[in-house]
Structure 1
Amino acid sequence: MASSVGVDDFATTRVPLGARYSWWSVAVQRFGQISALSQFLLGATLGFGMKFWDAFLALTLGAVILEVVAIFVGIMGVREGLSTSMLARWTGFGRAGSALIGLAIGISLIGWFGIQSAVSAQGLALLVGGLPAWAWSLVFGLLVTAIVLRGFHSMTWTAYVTVPAFLILVGWSIITELSRHDLGGLVASAPAGPQLTLLQGTTLVAGGFIVGAVITPDMTRFNRSAADVVKQTLLGITLGEYAIGLAGVLLAHAVRSPDITTIVTSSVGWVGILVVVAGTVKINDWNLYSSGLGLVTFVGTVFGRRVNRGVATAVVGVVGSVLAAAGILDQFIEFLTVLGVAFPPIAGIMVAEYFVVRRWRGDLETSRATGTVPPTAPTWVPATLVIWLAAALFGKFVEVGLGSINSLVLAFVLYVIAGRLGLVRGVGVSRTAEPVSV
């Protein structure tokens, strides 16, 4: 459905089979998400604080966490054809709980949108000039907003252009810079900055894409089979983490800086602007897209008003651009660490409900046969909210093991136990009829 603002893209309904895409079309977008400038920045952050092989291990552990989460929630998405925040209504959170998830996703991805726009703005201000960094943040943010307004189809074609361009330019940057150094010496060299532990590094890796993993249904609802989800996840996350992440690690060792703009300009000079722009557009469009979906769910649930996805996208795009201009990039590491423990419980609960407890699985299966959504949903599921909070706090404050893994596993286990004890119960019943359009 289209409007004067943008394409609605099945924001609150199932994606019909006839509107789905080949696995390759979706896989290019998945790879574009993980092989973006943010991954370069993450690799550089690790390389600035870790030895090469320690960073390699952190990337490996983080990638495994992300792949497991993305595959399970991705399969839920392709089966049901629903966005993450809509699917949450019948996977443990209820109608009101799903609104909280939609709001949390929206706020988090506005933050990511701001981070990505700020990275691009720094490069554009240095390499092009003409405008201060804050103004470039606004320009870049509005450019991405214009792409996302046209929906999944427009984003697919953007991926076909930006992903190859970014990989070619990054390859050039790597070869140019590393040719000036002894590769063996870089691998063995000590990091230039304050040391990061393996636990900190792995949490940064998992936190760097954990929101992307949790919101996988937003993308996989356009897939055609579970096998497609597995293929694109293994290909996109594995190659993205290693190819781009390790490149960032080596370049940080070579340049002795975690700053992406410094790395790019020292390697390929003015061509670095293309690296910056191409590497940011593809990840930032998905940040904005899923943030808009979350906002649509939140407004529809809380206010009973149907907001077109294009309108929500425009609002989020402007807010994210302003945040970028305000300097949100300065909070990058702290932001990733918080995400690393706050969002995994959402996936743990949804997977536990859908595959093990199955309290509302029958409602989804019945309505799927007719291409609709279940007519009702629980309003609240108190046990879920308690488990979410407890698991997030456990992941944040318990220093044994990995915070992201701890919170994910604990949420899964507690929900299964609560389900077996009969504690997973809805309070109130809400009809899922279409809200009034505005």
Structure 2
Amino acid sequence: MSSTTNPPGSTGSTLSAAAEDHALVSVPAAERRSGHQLALSPVSVATALVVFAIAGFTVVLAGFTVGLVVGALVAAFGVFLGRALGRMAFETGMSSTITSRFFGFGLRGSSIGSAIFAFMILGFLAMESALLYQGTLLMFDLPDSWAIRVLLYGLMTLLWIGLAVFGLKLALRASGVLTAVTLLVTIYMIIHIYVIEGADPMGVFRYAGVVPGGLWPKFEAAVSVMGATAGTIALVTTDFARYCRTRRDVTVLAAAGPVTQNVLMTVLGSLVVIGGMPDVVTYLMDHDKNLTPEAAGAAGSDFVMQNTGAFFVIFAAWLGFVTIYAAQAKAQAINAYSGSLSLVNLVDALTGRKPGRAAMVVVGNVIALVMIGAGILEKFSTYLAYLGAMTLGMCGVMIADYYLVRRARYDSRTHRVEKWNWAGVITLAVSASIGMVLMATDVFALGFLVSFVAALLLYPLLRKWLPEGTGTSFAASEEAVEEAEGEDIGGHQDHA
């Protein structure tokens, strides 16, 4: 049994690391690892099917050159965010939601971060399931009927729940192998397209995208899809950063996910989606003689964002189909587990009640099914944009608190945690709302970036008017320990 003693507000005391996976306690020095060892986790997340969809769709909209440039810029932004937030998690030894109790939001206020993280993770749980569903329909030529939906989504949901409750360790141990298999199958598809089918790779590099107009409309379209995910990968990276040994390891870790997601996947996604589109159109016309070339082309374009698994099915048949399920099973187990812990922390932070994690796994999957029913896949771009406003607003508050207000100083022995940091709560509400309104009214498609900048500027001002302790009390050590008692309460993605 491994234990550690934590400062006030960490909601952790003498707990079993084996049971908690350090969800509530600071990761001890003996269990810290190098950044290269930890990098596999964000890389695994960054090679999921939904990321393949985002990368391919970005290039379809803006063209290869603009898409790759934007990918590099977003990667740089993601590295900056991951490093900035990762240093905080490195100092506290806590996951991103728990770290937000120390910097930006307070003990109770961190429930807002839990809600945002749950919305993010469960949204990706829903989208991954929807993509797998569409790929399964194509593989077995099934109709999209209610009976099929109930059957397939029901089986997938039971699988995700089972893996999250009973098979998470197995899924995590296989993550490296499954990530490698996914990349190898993708390379096989590229070889099939360009060597066997004889497609011209230069056609991909010259591809200009479907967005009309000059450079700015294409740039804006690419950033609106890809840029919104910068906060997402940064928060995921923050969870793993608590396991780092040194600040240099934090930097290595922070670079792994964004570079893989926004650069490598952009190149691979472009080569498959753009180069393979003629074969996809031919495949669709062969399977439906009533389709015109124009209709088949439109259907193939829809595959990029709404049926990404189709490319694996069409170019790799059973190998591709099995690959997407095997790879996504690992990602979905983590998403379901991670979402459940966010929901547990949300309930605990607001009410003091400690629901069981297994029950929250079921609740999280039910929420994901509701998202699917609401058409999250068809509203993918809108979801990403609004999610970006929330996640980047949250990142902005935490960065402003730690670096601008506290001057990057943290001492676990003297640091006090408020129950509510009203300056942070108000800043997040205002900054996220500004970004959402700008996007909803079509005033500025990149409103999520405005949310980040607004949070950085507004929080230090509000903190002067609402200094520490205003309108709230501080979390005492005894209360923090009492709230930590119970299993699997608190953070979210707790494995590295």
**TM score, norm. by length of structure 1:** 0.86
In the TM superposition, what are the counterparts of 1:84-163 in structure 2 within 5 Å?
A: 84-128=96-140, 132-149=148-165, 153-163=169-179
Q: Which has more radius of gyration?
A: 2
The answer to whether the Cα contact below 8 Å between 1:173 and 1:268 also exists between their aligned partners in 2 is yes
- CA contact 1:52–1:188 (8 Å) conserved in 2: yes
Q: Does 1:249 align with 2:270?
A: yes
Bigger Cα displacement from structure 2, 410-419 vs 100-109: 410-419
CA shift, 1:21, in A, is 4.1
In structure 2, do the counterparts of structure 1 residues 234 and 206 end up closer, same or farther at CA, with 3 Å as the change threshold?
Answer: same
Matched AA of 2:181: A
| Segment drifting more, 352-361 vs 26-35 | 352-361
In the TM superposition, residue 75 of structure 1 has moved relative to its aligned partner by 1.6
The alpha-carbon deviation at position 155 of structure 1 amounts to: 4.8
Matches within 5 A, 1:314-393: 314-321=362-369, 323-324=371-372, 327-358=375-406, 362=410, 365-366=412-413, 377-393=417-433
Q: Which residue of 2 aligns with 1:52?
A: 64
Structure 2, unaligned stretches of length 5 or more? 3-17, 278-299, 488-496
Encode CA deviations 1:132-178: one digit per residue, 9 max, x unaligned: 35533333343344333369754531312211111111111122123
Aligned length: 428
d(CA) in 2 for partners of 1:156, 1:361:
34
Structure 1 residues 63 and 150: CA distance shift in structure 2, 3 A: farther
Are the aligned partners of 2:423 and 2:466 in contact in 1 as well (CA < 8 Å)? no
Residue 42 (structure 1) shift:
0.6
In 1, distance between residues paired with 2:187 and 2:340? Answer: 33
Aligned with 2:104: secondary structure? Answer: coil
Contact 2:108 2:349 in 1 (8 A): yes
Match of 2:187 in 1: 171
**Deviation at residue 328 of structure 1 after TM alignment:** 2.9
Contact 2:312 2:320 in 1 (8 A): yes
Residue equivalent to 1:216: 237
Are the counterparts in 2 of residues 48 and 194 from structure 1 also a CA contact under 8 Å? no
Q: Distance in 2 between matches of 1:263 and 1:404?
A: 31
| Separation of aligned partners in 1, 2:314 and 2:205 | 19
Change in CA separation of 1:116 and 1:134 when aligned onto 2, cut-off 3 Å:
farther
Contact 1:134–1:324 (CA<8 Å) still a contact in 2?
Answer: no
How many Å separate the matches in 1 of 2:362 and 2:413? Answer: 35
Sort the Cα spacing of 1:314 and 1:401 in 2 relative to 1 into closer, same or farther, 3 A: closer
In 1: Cα distance, 2:89 partner to 2:369 partner? 29
Preserved CA contact (<8 Å) 1:166 1:278: no
- CA gap of 1:152–1:7, structure 2 versus 1, over 3 A, is farther
193 and 412 in structure 1: CA distance in 2 versus 1, 3 angstrom threshold: closer
Match status 1:289 vs 2:337: yes
DSSP-derived class of the 2:417 partner? strand
Q: AA paired with 2:332?
A: N
- Is contact 1:288-1:317 (8 Å) kept? yes
Partner of residue 246, structure 2:
225
C-alpha distance in 2 between matches for 1:382 and 1:71: 26
What is the CA-CA distance between 1:346 and the residue it aligns to? 0.7
User: Corresponding residue for 1:302?
Assistant: 350
Range that drifts further, 140-149 or 57-66: 140-149
**CA 1:359–1:250: 2 relative to 1, 3 Å:** closer
Q: Secondary structure of 2:419's match? A: strand
Distance 1:25 1:176 in 2: 33
Show structure 1 runs of 5+ residues with no match: 368-373
Query: How far apart are 1:51 and its partner, in Å?
Result: 1.4
Secondary structure of the corresponding residue to residue 482 of structure 2: coil
Q: CA deviation at 1:210?
A: 2.4
From 399, 423, 434, the equivalent of 1:394 is 434
Aligned with 1:240: secondary structure? Answer: helix
Q: What secondary structure is seen at the aligned counterpart in 1 of 2:472?
A: strand
Distance in 2, Cα, partners of 1:100 & 1:268: 43
**Bigger shift: 276-285 or 84-93?**
276-285
1:32 alignment partner, one of 44, 47, 59: 44
Q: Distance in 1 between matches of 2:376 and 2:466?
A: 44
Report what 1:184 is aligned to: 202
Helix, strand or coil at the partner of 1:330: coil
Name the stretch that deviates more: 149-158 or 54-63.
149-158
Separation in structure 1 between the aligned mates of residue 28 and residue 191 of structure 2, nearest angstrom: 45
Q: Which moved more, 1:161-170 or 1:262-271?
A: 262-271
Q: Secondary structure at the match of 1:328?
A: coil
Tell me the equivalent position of 1:433. Answer: 481
Alignment of 1:270-281 (within 5 A): 270-281=318-329
Name the Cα RMSD after superposition: 3.2
Shift of 1:253: 2.1
- Residue 414 to residue 91, structure 1, CA distance change in 2 (3 Å): same
Q: Is the 8 A contact 1:65 1:405 kept in 2?
A: no
Q: For 2:189, give the aligned amino acid.
A: S
> 2:450 aligned to 406, 409, 414, which one?
406
Distance 1:221 1:365 in 2: 14
* Identical amino acids, percent of aligned pairs: 23
Could you tell me which amino acid in structure 1 is paired with residue 91 of structure 2?
R
Cα distance change on mapping 1:137 and 1:158 into 2, 3 Å:
farther
